[in-house]
Amino acid sequence: MTAQASMTQHETPAHVSTDVAWRIAEGLTPYPQALAAMRARVEAIHAGTADELVWLVEHPPLYTAGTSAKPADLREPDRFPTYAAGRGGQWTYHGPGQRTAYVMLDLARQHGQQRPRDVHSYITALEEWLIRALDRFDVRGERREGRVGIWVADRAAGTEAKIAAIGVRVTHWVSWHGVALNVAPDLRHFSGIVPCGIREHGVTSLHALGIPATMAEAEAALRAAWAEVFGARPA
């Protein structure tokens, strides 16, 4: 997936905290509710009335379309609900067992940390965040030229599969949407779409790789890797 950006530079009020709030939603969050909550938070961050936020959720099974999604890549339109996400990229799946992290950061802020100032650098930082989190499970996540997301290679078999997706939007230099890490989703659910428009490779998860990680363990790995990449404490 890629980025859909609408950017207007602005100054950040001095009273906003340099910490990034870290929240975990209970249960399964309906996708329209998540979109509405992100939109409101982005506006509040831009206005200087709310701190930045990493929001971890799980969704019921559904498909989302990015701004580049092709109708033909929705293979089973009646299988799960579908939503226009407004982010960059193509089709993706969300569902139970997948840790989705919605990241709402003011990319225009400067606090001495290595905060990405452009969309490409921001996506690279999200990739690095996922790679470092996966490393805590002894999984080597890798980038691929021309394919946003994180991949796991089986060099003996000569194959590879996607373990985490990335799709973002930036409004007024505030990011939203984010990443989706496959912990233990039902991988059969991905067959209803062409994930991110890539037909040549499949998808995988920590459980499919033989790593029985819990959602809590995945969250702990993401949290531990956060400050290494973004330089701000998750609060």
Active site (annotated) includes residue 117: no
Residues in the chain: 235
Question: Which residue, among 61, 84, 66, 95, has the nearest Cα to 1 in the 3D structure?
Answer: 66
CA 82/CA 195 separation, integer angstroms: 14
Tell me the C-alpha distance between 97 and 205, whole Å.
9
Task: Write the single-letter amino acid at 130.
Answer: L
Q: Which two tokens stand for residue 101?
A: 């992290």
CB of 20 within 8 A of CB of 109? no
> Rounded to whole angstroms, how far apart are CA atoms 18 and 44?
15
Catalytic residue among 45, 134, 174, 196: 196
Token digits for 199? 């037909």
C-alpha angle with apex 64: 147 to 89, nearest 5 degrees? Answer: 30
Asked if 135 contacts 141 with a C-beta cutoff of 8 angstroms, the reply is yes
Query: Which residues participate in catalysis according to the annotation?
Result: 196
